[in-house]
Amino acid sequence: MQETNESKVNVRNLTRSIIISLVIINIILLLVLVTSSFWISSPETLKKTQIICGSMALLVGGLILFLILKFFKVVDLINYNAYLLSKGKLNISDILLTKAKGLETLCIAFNDMKTNLLSFTELTKVNIVTISDAIDTVSKSVESSYLGNEQIALRMGDIAEKSQEQLKVLKDTLESIYNVDQKVNSIGKVLKI
């Protein structure tokens, strides 16, 4: 892995060095083109020198332009994928490193960010489903508990009603026993006389 990173750094440094060299060569060619009339006396040699230097400057400038456009094409690709991510389109393809010459590290970081965002989204979905199931279970449990409490309250009401009836029967029985006791006492008094 470290060897691959070193080779990417070497490629990036080589690309940077080539662009800097091309810019320097282009500047030198343009300087020769502009100053050639001062140090070349022969009109024929001057014309050939200017044509060669101008052609070379155009060629080197075109090469520099090509490399810069290629660089910005990668930047545009990263920018477009970032735009898609910002619009919620997470299932986009990874940016291929072969298309990202000079910006490999940025592409790797972008691809990792996208993958992490997808993982986070999937885990969040799973967590929401789990939480929803737990809420549903608690809701059913609360409903069952409520129904159970309602049943208990009804049974308690029945027990209270039956207890009232039993108390009335007991009072009636006690009153009957008291009446019988009174009659027995009355009879006992009458018999003792």
pLDDT computed for residue 15 by the predictor:
66
Residue 95 belongs to a domain: no
Assess whether 113 and 137 both reside in one domain. Answer: yes
pLDDT computed for residue 92 by the predictor:
84
Residue 26 belongs to a domain: yes
Assess whether 108 and 192 both reside in one domain. Answer: yes
pLDDT computed for residue 117 by the predictor:
86
**CA dihedral of 123, 88, 93, 8, whole degrees rounded to 10:** -90
Sign of the torsion angle spanned by Cα atoms 95, 100, 106, 108: positive
pLDDT computed for residue 14 by the predictor:
65
What whole-number distance in Å separates Cα of residue 64 and Cα of residue 19?
A: 6
Assess whether 111 and 67 both reside in one domain. Answer: no
Residue 94 belongs to a domain: no
In tens, the pLDDT along 108-139 reads 888 888 888 888 888 888 899 999 999 999 99
Assess whether 117 and 55 both reside in one domain. Answer: no
In tens, the pLDDT along 4-48 reads 555 555 656 666 777 788 788 878 877 877 787 777 778 888 888
Residue 83 belongs to a domain: yes
Q: Report the number of distinct structural domains present in the chain.
A: 2
What whole-number distance in Å separates Cα of residue 76 and Cα of residue 95?
A: 11
In tens, the pLDDT along 137-186 reads 999 888 888 888 888 888 898 888 889 989 899 898 888 888 888 888 88
The mean pLDDT value for 41-58 works out to 84
Sign of the torsion angle spanned by Cα atoms 68, 74, 78, 80: positive
pLDDT band at 61 (very low <50, low <70, confident <90, very high): confident
Assess whether 66 and 120 both reside in one domain. Answer: no
What whole-number distance in Å separates Cα of residue 99 and Cα of residue 108?
A: 12
Assess whether 28 and 62 both reside in one domain. Answer: yes
Assess whether 191 and 108 both reside in one domain. Answer: yes
Assess whether 34 and 67 both reside in one domain. Answer: yes
Assess whether 74 and 117 both reside in one domain. Answer: no
Q: Which of 87, 115, 138 is the last residue of a domain?
A: 87
Assess whether 154 and 186 both reside in one domain. Answer: yes
Assess whether 83 and 107 both reside in one domain. Answer: no
pLDDT computed for residue 94 by the predictor:
85
Residue 93 belongs to a domain: no
pLDDT computed for residue 108 by the predictor:
86
Residue 97 belongs to a domain: no
The domain of 193 spans: 103-193
pLDDT computed for residue 1 by the predictor:
46
